[in-house]
Amino acid sequence: MPEISLAGQPEVFVSSSALSKAAGAAVARGELRKLGSRLYTRNLTEDPERLVRRYWYFLIGGYYPDALIADRTALENKPAVDGSVFLVSEGTREVELPGLTFRPRKGPPAIDSDRAFPGGARLSSIPRAYLENMTPSRGRAGRASRTLGRDEIEQRLDSLARQQGEAALNKLRDGAHAIAHQLGLEEQCEELSALIGTFLGTRDVKTQSAVGAARAAGNPFDPDRLELFEKLFSGLREFVPSDREAHGRSAEATTNLAFYEAYFSNFIEGNEFSVDEAKEIIFEGVIPAERPEDAHDVLGTFRIVSDISEMSRIPANAEEFIALLKARHARIMEGHRESAQGDQGSARCRTANRTKRFWTWF
């Protein structure tokens, strides 16, 4: 029988019985390198663990043709910290490779809602993955647990709510209810439903994470943002500021900078004009009849930031700083009818709304 060509195989591949003889001969000739059980590569120099990690999802089907990526791997979409990849398959023997271990278990095979995954395996749908992870498990002998802990699930649900809104939690709960009976995970579905209901304010079960407790109490927070603020705080404490002289600008450059500063500072507050409209307002004095107050905001801002003498004023203390802000604010708002008519309360309300939009944008 002629030797089967290996030319069509990828950089890293799992050998079959038909390829085993050709692969062994290629290894003897120095054309292939064996990385593990039935695992070969044409890359003769790169670290084996890096190669295996790069191709882990393509290797699954070579060892487990019926594999479903499940449990924590289905939510994390990557191997666990110890290299474990959790699967559902009829084949239950673990396969250890450099830096990676396939850990299969028996269970319901892939259903219609489960997704295709690169390399030919299937991936548990998001509702199924959450149901699977509601089953507690423990890691043994330093190995990662098969499922996420309750606090980790709460953190993921909170992140889902922050990124996609509460409607995403409802969608997840509905999806879980639709498949729970088919998978025999009715009890896990009830637990997940109760937890989501607690996050939405319709149920009341005990939470195990700080973000979960905060959301259940109606005061959710963004832990990622807190971490960024802490890094910023640390960085500012370690930073020693130094004086830097401003480079001289021509009158034309100063005017151009002031134009864009006035334009964008209004734009991000919701006071939107096209660039051409803003040019006409600032440089030609064209005040649109339908939006005179908005136009005066843009023009008033330009007049302040283009005034080199005004922008060179440096307050000596907090009181002077506040007075300076009030004075500049009054110049910007002088084009508002309510201000001209003495309705200062209405003007302050309109300004507060714009200020709120500005900080929300940041």
The secondary structure of residue 81, as a DSSP letter, is T
Both tokens of 104, joined, read: 């299969």
264-304 pLDDT, tens per residue? 999 998 899 999 999 999 999 898 888 888 999 999 999 99
Q: φ and ψ at 244, to 5 degrees?
A: -130, 130
Using the predicted structure, report yes or no on whether residue 361 has a pLDDT greater than 50: no
Model pTM score: 0.67
Using the predicted structure, report yes or no on whether residue 338 has a pLDDT greater than 90: no
CA-to-CA separations, 128 to 134, 185, 321, in angstroms, rounded: 10, 9, 57
Percent of the chain with pLDDT over 90: 74
Using the predicted structure, report yes or no on whether residue 355 has a pLDDT greater than 60: no
Contacts of 296 (CB under 8 A, 6+ apart): 287, 332, 334, 335, 336
Q: Which residue has the higher pLDDT, 337 or 90?
A: 90
Using the predicted structure, report yes or no on whether residue 129 has a pLDDT greater than 50: yes
pLDDT of res. 344? 46
CA gap 197, 225 in Å, rounded: 25
| H-only helix segments in 6-149 | 20-28, 48-54, 56-63, 71-76, 126-133
Both tokens of 333, joined, read: 């708002």
101-115 pLDDT, tens per residue? 999 999 999 999 999
**For the chain, what are the domain ranges?**
12-124, 150-235, 251-361
